[in-house]
């Protein structure tokens, strides 16, 4: 009866933690409420602004505005007829223009000279902007931000691979509902975001990161014929190659340079076509071309975070990405999206009228001056509409959302706006409509009003930026409280089990280590250096163990071996962190000696090729030696399958390392079939084990041996897949985990006999479980991961597969990320028990110990996660909350849930036969 209750214990904990995490996440990662309202042309009549300023201002519509039909006047006077948007995904600003980020010139800089030439030769009609994106910088978030003019929130990152349609009011919706025809080509994310909006679309699959050319070639074939056609108003071309080249090869690579050169050619051709057709009355007489990146990328080609490199996309004057939707709407004369909080950017808006450098113009030039005045009047009216629209949105938003802006902030906004409106209604509006000569004297007043509007708009967007994440403190509190409560419950449950022995120095020390690690998460610095902290604590436990082994005069070799292992882990972690520092805005790039090694000469490269293979041989030998021990029956053959898997991994690596020398056939086999074969072998091993457990009902006398066989077969089934996904470092890390696990298992017995040499039977060692956990954390960092989305090794998801299938690739990525740090440690935990000095315990004792050990392991993980949650709650207004704390939170929470799922599976697998009766 009691055993049955214990069997469900892990599931209960999982459920409890799942609930707590769900509650907290709901409070913490709240999205902005999306409003179901849409802007309409007729809304303008409610605003204080002029519906069509030039109807009164200038009767003689001049120059290139003649074509603009009066009925298309909606919110603002259309300034252009057609719009070509070319999006180069992950375009770094320094691809286009030199930037001050690096002191010296890098090979990837200035690779799009065509844009620079245009900007500097044709003067007034071309300009380069540095666009500043808000984090999170993933494509989906940026596209959403670009088209809605709002601030996408952190939660949407999770949707990035699923790309749901945008239901909020957005630019594309406005274009379509105002009769503009939109053509789209390139990244198929657009079609997923806007399923029914495009007149014509040429989508290409975007998720195969290894494919640099499909999307770009697709764009290339369609863009030129489309440019000659008349049946569209807005053309969107989204090129992906640079993003993919960055993900796979990094910024500083030949592939990246090649892609950029290709883009340069395409852009040259596009511009040539546009220019050829731009004669008066031509197809592109009044067309604006926007070449932009949706986000940047870091040096190793990843993005998703909030580092300065990623946010800065292309230019010189800067433009907030928020402003894109409003500015484009104003240019085309359509209503601004309802939820847009951006402002109409003066310089971009002025480009269309050719007056962007009006400040520099000779004021004595009458023609220029009148042009400029006309533009200013138009612009001030546009800003009036813009401010009115933003104010309307803020009002509606705070009315419909319970926790919106604070009342002081709202009052402040209202006051500011009322002041603006009064000034507008009493003076400016009249000035705009007056037609006498005296009007020219009021330019100063208009300029002042423009600045007031811009000030108001930037104030609102700043406020929105700072307040947008609406934390639901009640939900967060409930979640946190449940977590803390669950910790108490687990502690009590462990305590109440019969096998617990008294509290010794080791237990207190282990408790202290866990608490210290948990407390370290309260500071952002320690989160950044989490790997080092874990390693420091692991080394401390190792030193304590060394002290014990000197005290007991035994296992000195194991203690020293363990410290050497920690030393190795420490250097590996530092190398991983130097990788992180290269991409992170928060970290110092340090340790010059590491780069000295990492660069390496041919000998080092040779060692890096051969070393992993040798280690694989060692691993195979270990497996072989284990099999030839005292193994019988079907388990032996299941474990045996691991050796061919290792051989296949070796073959795969050899084929990958020099593909040039091999015929194409072998290349294909090496790239995809071998990994697939390894996955198939691993899955069949797991299936055999599962079925074997269901049907194999033989009674064993030696429970210890039976448990060992089960554990070994489980580990050998998982390991080939995880090693393969981790790449060449995988075999080293597998070896490290075997050595570490062996040392911990051996060393746990040194602390015994503390008082007078009497062995306490059947007490599990809390310190050893803590060490096991710390080793797992160290392995996470040593295998080149860190708790940020750019710390995911996306390449691992495409080992063995070329196409993107959400579930499959997500599983592979999870296996890579948590394989060594979570799956193997949890599955291998019974070894700790088997290493205890105890003579053949009964099955109930063994079961109790094992479940206790698993609960202790879960408790340690849950404690650190609770600390993370607490820290996130405290630091929720911290500058780095989205850059650092939230990713850490997501990683920890996913890790906890996965740990507990694995514990449940392990308890099903290891305990089943004991609990049947």
Partner 1 sequence: MRKYTLPFWALAFSFYSTPVERRLPILFSSPWPSPSRQISAACPTCYPPKTSEFFQALKSFCFEDFILWCRGRRTIIETPAALLLYSHFRRDTETYSFLRAVGRGLCAFPIGALIHAALAIVLGAPVGSWYLLKTINWSLLMSSLTIVPVASVFGSSWRDWQRVFARTEPNDLLEYMLCIPAHGAAIGAWLGAWPMPLDWERPWQEWPICVTYGAVTGYVIGLSASFCVACASTGARRSRQKGD
**Shortest approach of partner 1 to residue 777 CB, angstroms?**
14
| Among 383, 363, 384, residue whose Cα is nearest residue 372 | 363
In our burial notation (b when 16+ CB lie closer than 10 A, e otherwise), range 88-119 reads bbbbbbbbbbebeeeeeeeebbbbbebbeebb
**Does residue 460 touch partner 1 according to CB under 8 A?**
no
Q: How distant, in Å, are the alpha carbons of 227, 628, 701, 751, 911 from that of 848?
A: 74, 30, 18, 21, 10
Would you say 851 and 747 are in contact if contact means Cβ atoms under 8 Å apart? no
Among 528, 734, 744, 853, binds partner 1 (CB under 8 A): 528
Question: In sequence order, what are the residues at sequence separation of 6 or more whose Cβ sits closer than 8 angstroms to the Cβ of residue 276?
Answer: none
Q: Does 351 bind partner 1 (CB under 8 A)?
A: no
- Segment interacting with partner 1, rule: CB under 8 A, options 487-495, 496-504, 585-593, 646-654: 585-593
For partner 1, the binding residue among 23, 30, 518, 539 (CB under 8 A) is: 539
CA-based end-to-end distance of the chain = 9
Determine if 392 is a binding residue for partner 1 (CB under 8 A).
no
Among 547, 604, 605, 680, binds partner 1 (CB under 8 A): 547
What is the dihedral sign for C-alpha 587, 589, 593, 598? positive
- Choose, by CB under 8 A, the member of 125, 523, 595, 837 that binds partner 1: 523
Nearer to partner 1, 310 or 421 (CB): 310
Please report whether residue 509 would count as binding partner 1 according to CB under 8 A: no
Alpha carbon separation from 697 to 146, 609, 692 (Å, rounded)? 61, 46, 9
Give the interface segment with partner 1, choosing from 139-147, 221-229, 566-574, 672-680 (CB under 8 A): 566-574
Output the smallest distance, CB 528 to partner 1, in A.
7
Q: 785: which 2 tokens?
A: 């991961």
Nearest CA to 821 out of 783, 765, 787, 871 is that of 783
Is residue 135 near partner 1 by the rule CB under 8 A?
A: no
Give the residue, chosen from 139, 307, 645, 773, that forms a contact with partner 1 under the rule CB under 8 A: 307
Please report which helix (H) or strand (E) contains residue 236, including its range: strand 234-239
Taking the least distance from each CB to partner 1, the nearer of 246 and 306 is 306
Phi and psi angles of residue 495, each rounded to the nearest 5 degrees, phi first = -60, -40
**Which residue in 54, 211, 409, 529 binds partner 1 (CB under 8 A)?**
529
Shortest distance (Å) from residue 754 CB to partner 1: 10
CB of 616 to partner 1, least distance (A): 27
Q: How far apart are CA 78 and CA 67, in angstroms?
A: 10
Q: Residues 275, 492, 503, 551: which binds partner 1 (CB under 8 A)? A: 551
The two structure tokens encoding residue 288: 């604006």
Place of tokens 């770094």: 92
Report if residue 60 touches partner 1, rule: CB under 8 A.
no
| Alpha helix positions (H), 402-442 | 407-423, 429-433
Separation of alpha carbons 825 and 404, rounded Å:
45
Cβ–Cβ under 8 Å, residues 74 and 178: yes
739 is an interface residue for partner 1 by CB under 8 A: no
Contact 138, 326 (CB under 8 A): no
Q: Does 308 bind partner 1 (CB under 8 A)?
A: yes
Residues contacting partner 1: total by CB under 8 A: 33
Q: What is each CA distance from 62 to 252, 263, 316, 371, in whole angstroms?
A: 49, 36, 31, 9
Tokens 């375009």 correspond to what residue? Answer: 91
Q: Which residues contact 214 (CB under 8 A, 6 or more apart)?
A: 204, 205, 208
24, 108, 388, 586: residue in contact with partner 1 (rule CB under 8 A) = 586
Closer by beta carbon to partner 1, 22 or else 880: 880
Please say which residue, 169 or 530, places its beta carbon nearer to partner 1.
Answer: 530
d(CA 96, CA 85): 17
Distance of CA 418 to the CA centre of its chain: 41
Given the complex with partner 1, which of 648 and 871 has the nearer CB atom? 871
Report yes or no: 313 and 137 within 8 Å, Cβ to Cβ. Answer: no
What is the spatial distance between Cα 474 and Cα 536, in angstroms, rounded to a whole number?
A: 36
By the rule CB under 8 A, 393 interacts with partner 1? no
The residue within the footprint of partner 1, chosen from 439, 478, 563, 690 (CB under 8 A), is 563
Binding to partner 1 (CB under 8 A): which residues in 276-295? none
Options 563-571, 759-767, 780-788, 801-809: segment touching partner 1 (CB under 8 A)? 563-571
Kindly give, in sequence order, each residue whose CB lies less than 8 Å from that of residue 393, ignoring residues fewer than 6 positions away: 35, 338, 339, 340, 341
> Does residue 787 touch partner 1 according to CB under 8 A?
no
Please, what is the minimum distance in Å from the beta carbon of residue 308 to partner 1? 5
Contact call for residue 864 and partner 1 (CB under 8 A):
no
Q: What is the bridge-based pairing of β-strands 234-239 and 182-187?
A: parallel
Binding partner 1 (rule: CB under 8 A), the pick from 45, 59, 407, 592 is: 592
Asked whether position 535 contacts partner 1 by CB under 8 A, the answer is yes
Angle, in degrees to the nearest 10, between helices 633-640 and 674-695: 170
Per CB under 8 A, the segment of 201-209, 256-264, 288-296, 525-533 that binds partner 1 is 525-533
| By the rule CB under 8 A, 536 interacts with partner 1 | yes
Of 525, 761, 837, 840, the one binding partner 1 (CB under 8 A) is: 525
From residue 875 to residue 894, the character string flagging contacts with partner 1 as x (rule: CB under 8 A) and all else as - is ----xx--------------
Among 9-17, 61-69, 522-530, 761-769, the segment contacting partner 1 (CB under 8 A): 522-530
C-alpha torsion angle, residues 514, 515, 516, 518 (rounded to 10)? 90
Position 570 contacts partner 1 (CB under 8 A): yes
**Which residue number, 571 or 688, has a Cβ lying nearer to partner 1?**
571
**799 contacts partner 1 (rule: CB under 8 A):** no
Q: Does 310 engage in binding with partner 1 (CB under 8 A)?
A: no
Question: Is the Cβ of residue 8 or residue 593 nearer to partner 1 in the bound state?
Answer: 593
- CA within 13 Å, CB half, 280: 4
Query: How crowded is the C-beta side of 433, counted as CA atoms within 13 Å?
Result: 10
Cα 58 to Cα 353: distance, rounded to the nearest angstrom: 15
Q: Does 566 bind partner 1 (CB under 8 A)?
A: yes
> Least distance from C-beta 89 to partner 1, angstroms?
23
**CA distances (Å), origin 385, targets 296, 329, 538:** 31, 12, 62
| Residues in contact with 329: Cβ distance below 8 Å, sequence separation at least 6, in sequence order | 75, 76, 171, 174, 335, 336, 337, 340
CA 221 and chain centroid, separation: 32
**759 counts as binding partner 1 under rule CB under 8 A:** no
Q: How far is the CB of 205 from partner 1 (least distance, A)?
A: 35
Nearer to partner 1, 157 or 528 (CB): 528
Q: Which is nearer to partner 1, 458 or 591 (CB)?
A: 591
Cβ proximity to partner 1: between 627 and 778 the closer is 778
Select 434 or 879, whichever has its Cβ closest to partner 1: 879
Give yes or no for residue 524 binding partner 1 (CB under 8 A). yes
Pick between residue 174 and residue 864 the one whose CB is nearest to partner 1: 864
CA 885 centroid distance within chain = 13
Query: Judged by CB under 8 A, which of 253, 369, 427, 540 binds partner 1?
Result: 540
Closer residue to partner 1 (CB): 187 or 530? 530
Based on the shown chain and the rule CB under 8 A, indicate whether residue 122 belongs to the binding site for partner 1: no
550 near partner 1, judged by CB under 8 A: yes
Beta-bridge partners for 292: 87
Residue 134: CB minimum distance to partner 1, A: 16
With residue 289 as reference, give the H or E element that holds it. Answer: strand 287-292
Q: Which residues bind partner 1 (CB under 8 A)?
A: 307-309, 523-526, 528-529, 532-533, 535-536, 539-540, 542-543, 547-548, 550-551, 563, 566-567, 570, 585-586, 588, 591-593, 879-880
């Amino acid at each position: 009866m009691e055993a049955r209750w214990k069997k469900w214990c892990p599931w209960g904990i999982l459920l409890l933690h799942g609930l707590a995490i769900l509650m907290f996440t709901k409070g913490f990662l709240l999205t902005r409420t999306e409003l179901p309202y849409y802007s309409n042309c007729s809304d303008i009549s409610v605003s204080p602004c002029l519906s069509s300023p030039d109807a009164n201002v200038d009767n003689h519509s001049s120059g290139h505005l003649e074509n603009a039909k009066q009925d298309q006047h909606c919110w603002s006077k259309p300034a252009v007829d057609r719009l070509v948007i070319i999006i180069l995904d992950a375009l770094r600003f320094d691809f286009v223009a030199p930037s001050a980020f690096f002191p010296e010139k890098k090979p990837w800089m200035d690779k799009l000279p065509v844009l620079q030439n245009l900007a500097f030769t044709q003067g007034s009609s071309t300009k380069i902007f540095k666009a500043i994106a808000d984090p999170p910088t993933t494509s989906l978030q940026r596209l959403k931000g670009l088209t809605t003019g709002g601030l996408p929130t952190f939660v949407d990152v999770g949707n990035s691979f699923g790309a749901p349609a945008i239901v909020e009011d957005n630019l594309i919706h406005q274009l379509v509902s105002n009769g503009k025809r939109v053509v789209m080509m390139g990244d198929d994310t657009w079609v997923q975001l806007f399923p029914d909006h495009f007149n014509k679309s040429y989508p290409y699959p975007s998720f195969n990161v290894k494919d640099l050319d499909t999307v770009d070639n697709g764009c290339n074939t369609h863009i030129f014929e489309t440019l000659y056609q008349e049946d569209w108003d807005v053309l969107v071309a989204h090129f992906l190659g640079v993003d993919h080249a960055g993900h796979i090869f990094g910024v500083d690579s030949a592939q990246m340079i090649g892609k950029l050169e290709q883009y340069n050619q395409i852009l040259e051709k596009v511009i040539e076509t546009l220019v050829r057709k731009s004669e008066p009355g031509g197809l592109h007489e009044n067309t604006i071309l926007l070449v932009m990146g949706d986000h940047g990328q870091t040096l190793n080609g990843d993005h998703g975070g909030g580092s300065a490199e990623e946010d800065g996309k292309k230019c010189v004057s800067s433009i907030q990405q928020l402003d894109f939707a409003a500015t484009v709407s104003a240019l085309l004369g359509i209503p601004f999206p309802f939820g847009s909080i951006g402002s109409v950017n003066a310089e971009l808006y002025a480009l269309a009228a050719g007056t962007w450098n009006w400040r520099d113009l000779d004021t004595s030039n009458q023609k220029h001056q009148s042009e400029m005045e006309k533009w200013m009047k138009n612009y001030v009216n546009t800003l009036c509409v813009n401010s009115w629209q933003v104010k309307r949105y803020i009002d509606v938003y705070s009315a419909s959302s319970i926790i919106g802006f604070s009342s002081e902030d709202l009052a402040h906004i209202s006051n500011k706006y009322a002041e603006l409106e009064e000034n507008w209604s009493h003076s400016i509006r009249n000035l705009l409509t007056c037609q006498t000569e005296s009007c020219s004297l009021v330019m100063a007043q208009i300029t002042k009003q423009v600045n007031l509007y811009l000030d108001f708009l930037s104030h609102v967007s700043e406020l929105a930026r700072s307040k947008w994440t609406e934390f639901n403190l009640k939900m967060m509190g409930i979640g946190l409280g449940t977590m803390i409560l669950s910790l108490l419950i687990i502690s009590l449950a462990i305590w109440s089990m019969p096998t617990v022995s008294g509290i010794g120095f080791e237990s207190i020390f282990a408790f202290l280590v866990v608490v210290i690690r948990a407390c370290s998460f309260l500071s952002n610095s320690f989160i950044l250096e989490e790997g080092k902290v874990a390693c420091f604590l692991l080394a401390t436990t190792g030193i304590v163990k060394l002290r014990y082994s000197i005290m007991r005069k035994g296992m000195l070799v194991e203690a020293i071996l363990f410290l050497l292992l920690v030393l190795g882990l420490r250097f590996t972690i530092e190398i991983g962190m130097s990788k992180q520092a290269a991409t992170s805005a928060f970290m110092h790039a340090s340790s010059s000696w590491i780069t000295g090694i990492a660069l390496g000469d041919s000998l080092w490269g040779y060692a890096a090729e051969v070393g992993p293979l040798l280690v694989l041989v060692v691993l195979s030998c270990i497996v072989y030696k284990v099999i030839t021990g005292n193994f019988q029956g079907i388990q032996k053959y299941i474990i045996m399958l691991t050796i061919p898997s290792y051989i296949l991994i070796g073959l795969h690596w050899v084929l990958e390392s020099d593909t040039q020398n091999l015929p194409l056939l072998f290349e294909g086999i090496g790239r995809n079939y071998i990994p697939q074969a390894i996955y198939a072998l691993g899955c069949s091993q797991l299936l055999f084990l599962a079925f074997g457990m269901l049907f194999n009902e033989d009674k064993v006398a030696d429970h210890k041996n039976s448990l060992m066989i089960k554990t070994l077969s489980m580990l050998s089934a998982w390991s080939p897949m995880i090693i393969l996904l981790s790449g060449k470092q995988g075999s080293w890390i597998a070896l490290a985990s075997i050595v570490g696990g062996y040392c911990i298992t051996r060393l746990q017995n040194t602390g015994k006999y503390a008082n007078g040499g009497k062995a306490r039977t059947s007490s599990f060692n809390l310190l050893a479980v803590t060490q096991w956990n710390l080793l797992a954390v160290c392995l996470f960092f040593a295998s080149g991961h860190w708790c940020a989305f750019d710390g995911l090794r996306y390449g691992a998801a495409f080992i063995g597969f070329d196409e993107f299938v959400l579930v499959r690739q997500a599983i592979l990525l999870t296996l890579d990320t948590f394989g060594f740090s979570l799956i193997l440690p949890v599955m291998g935990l019974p070894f700790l028990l088997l290493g205890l000095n105890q003579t053949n315990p009964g099955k109930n004792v063994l079961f109790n110990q094992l479940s206790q050990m698993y609960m202790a392991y879960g408790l340690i993980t849950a404690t650190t996660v609770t600390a993370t949650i607490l820290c996130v709650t405290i630091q929720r207004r911290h500058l780095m909350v989205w850059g650092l704390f939230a990713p850490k939170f997501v990683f920890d929470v996913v890790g906890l849930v996965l740990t507990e799922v694995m514990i449940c599976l392990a308890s099903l697998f290891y305990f089943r036969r004991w609990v049947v009766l």
